[in-house]
Every structure is written in C-alpha cells, then in structure tokens.
Structure 1
Amino acid sequence: MISKTKRFARSVGVAIAATAAVTMVMPTSNAFAIDHVECRGGENFLKIWSHLDGRTSVDCYANKGRTGFGSWWVDRISTGNNDLIYYDANGDSVRINRWTDITFPNHPPRVKDIEIL
C-alpha cells in the first residue's frame, strides 16, 4: 500500500511540475497577426495605394500586427478603423490615426514596414 501511495504522490508531483513549466513558457499577451485581405467596399480595413517600377497596387490589411511592405512608394493611405505606424526607408516611423485618408502627390514615402496598432 505504501508504494502505491508514493507512486500516486510522485505522479501528482510530476503533473504539477509539468503544468507549471508549460504555464511559465507560454506567452502572456494576446497573439495578433496582421492579415493581407481582399479589399471590399464598405469594410473599414487599412487600404494602401502604392507603386514601384511602373507597377501599381492597392492592398488592404486587417488585424493588429506588423508586416513588411517591400519598400514600395505609397501614394495614398486610408486607415479605416485602424491606427497605423509606417516605417519608411529613411528609418523614420510615422503614426497615422484611424479614420484618416491621406495622399502623397509630390513626395511619396518609400515604406518598408507597416504596423496596425
């Protein structure tokens, strides 16, 4: 009987230790991933008009996170319901608040990364 009790106690101890180890390793904050999504009318996504080497693009993004933008020249940004930081090729970061529509007709920034806050 004593050996069964010791085995049970040891099993419980191992289970508690394993649970504690997993709890300590898991991240404590919510995980978010920015998503490149299909642009649709009526949605409040981040929308960016850009160009590079004779090509033009219109891209939409949703959800919190940061992603590379490929150093494209940005002509217009509509933030929708997203707060945005863009990181340009000069190393600057620029914050644009939600519900903002901004154009860059003469001196567009060359954007390396974008981040939805």
Structure 2
Amino acid sequence: MISKAKKAASSLAVAFAAAATLTVAVPSGNAFAIDHVQCDGSRNDFLKIWSHLDGRDSVDCYANAGSIGFGGRWVDRISTGNNDLVYSDANGDSVRINRWTDITFPNRPPKVNSIRIL
C-alpha cells in the first residue's frame, strides 16, 4: 500500500512535469515593442505627435504596439494613423484616441507623460 505522502508527492511531481512540458511546448505570443521611427512624408499610417517643451518643438513618429515615456511634453497635435492610442497626462488621466484620427490642441495642450499604442 502506498502512503498518502508518497501519493501526494507523486501527484505533485506529475503536475510539475506537465506544467514544465506545456511551458516549453507552447510558444508564447509575439513580443512587440513600440518603435520610435523616422517620420516619412509618404507614410500616413504611423502615430505622429507634434509637441513642445522648453521652447523646442518636436515631431515624433511611432509604430508597433507598446508603451513609452513621453517626458511630460506639451502635445500640440496627434495624428494616430493606423494606431489606437492611449496617452497618460500629467493629471493622471488616460485618454484614448482611435485610429485614423487627427486632433489638434490649439489652446490647452495636454502635458503627456506616456503613450501606448494598442
């Protein structure tokens, strides 16, 4: 007769082996990271953000899903291209902007801490 302790240990070993096998055998999803890309005048599918900070204007383009810090820059315009966007502002709010949207902030630009392409 097998003792209860041996049965429990045996069951635990089988469960651990099954979990280890599945971990190795099942591929994980593709890993993506947001990319800061060169703005190309012929492309309109990138996320494109016009911003300013400390008297300097900037235009930045991004591709691929992921998150990146935006340094608390003031955003003047966003063109989402083929990207759904969520930005986090200095007030702690998260704002979603759908793809193919072009929005300007002429009077009250948000101060953006981070951006995330969904």
- Length-normalised TM-score, structure 1: 0.78
Shift of 1:20: 2.5
Q: Percent of aligned positions with the same letter in both sequences?
A: 75
Separation in structure 2 between the aligned mates of residue 99 and residue 79 of structure 1, nearest angstrom:
6
Shift of 1:42: 2.3
Segments of 5+ residues of structure 1 without an aligned counterpart are 1-16
Q: Which AA in structure 2 matches 1:41?
A: G
Q: Which AA in structure 2 matches 1:83?
A: D
2:88 alignment counterpart: 87
Shift of 1:23: 2.0
List aligned pairs for 1:1-117, cutoff 5 A.
20=20, 23=23, 28-43=28-43, 44-117=45-118
Segments of 5+ residues of structure 2 without an aligned counterpart are 1-16
Give the 4+ runs in structure 1 shifted more than 3 A. Answer: 26-29
1:7 alignment counterpart: none
Shift of 1:60: 0.2
- Taking only aligned residues, the RMSD between alpha carbons, in angstroms, comes to 2.0
